[in-house]
Amino acid sequence: MKVAATQCQMRLASSVAKSVASLTGQHFMSIDQLSNEELKGLLEVSHQYKEIYSDKSKPLPQPLSGHSISMIFQKRSTRTRVSTETGMSLLGGHALFLGPSDIQLGVNETMRDTASVLCRFNDIVLARVYSHDDVVELAKYSSAPVINALSDLHHPLQTLADLMALQQHFGKDLTGKTVAWVGDGNNVLHDLMLGSVKMGMNVQIATPKGYEPNADIMAKTLALAKENNANVTTTTVAEDAVKGADVVVTDTWVSMGQEEEYAKRVKEFEGYQVNTELMGKANPGAVFLHCLPRHPEEVTDEVIYSDASLVFPEAENRMWTVMAVMAAQMGKV
């Protein structure tokens, strides 16, 4: 039985290790930092980890035995915490949760000092923060690789889970598929559009006026789209973005920290709800994604619980993909 576990490790090493070897010791801040080979390699590791670690009838490989990760959470999250803690445990390591009551980044202790201390205890530092500047500063002063688990600009772990879900449904080659985004031009969209064009997919974006994605990140996306023969379009009309789409994606209209804007945002996002009628404008067989938690104004029950919804496999994939990132950072794929 132990031999079987060793063979699993050898199989991974022989098939994908080279494609992600360059990620050893590297910070993971956004999808655009990855080469196409690295992105596809992380996804392949994720698929193989799902296959290997879903079978608990035999001893499982523990490549991160003796390793630990500190997880800094300025913003709460069900999926990020559970996927990282469980995934690190499956890999044989230990995860330490640091919530707002445990650590106050930049308040009682400077970001530089926090980074300098944690990297002496832990092999990886994961941070889910409000400002992207915070995770950038952590990475600047940490000798251990940092994972951006969400900032106001980027959410790369979510995009890995999304792309994995699409590969599970459509097959590994996503070239030529079209992703439609309907909603706020936020951090989730930023990495999704970067990752989608790197995989050769077209992206059609609908946001209300004033809620467009970050201009600098859009410029990067357009440049990457050109390199990968993909198209990117923007509109303020949800139906226009969904026409011809194979994938329809939305996210919360009101992120944590924006609660006071709830009434204003709900009014300005009128017509952006993903419902059966809107999904009917997409290509036959189109699928739906949402990173959760969701609210009824964003998507109806008829859509999120339909056969077209990949929302819950997408959520599960948060674990397989963060496992791939951690193992790659440690050079233990």
Residues classed as catalytic: 291
141, with CB counted inside 10 A (0-12, 13-18, 19+), is middle
Distance, CA of 148 to CA of 139 (rounded, Å): 9
CA 138 from chain center: how many Å?
19
Name every residue whose Cβ is closer than 8 Å to that of residue 184 and which is 6 or more positions away in sequence: 207, 211, 251, 252, 253, 255, 265, 269
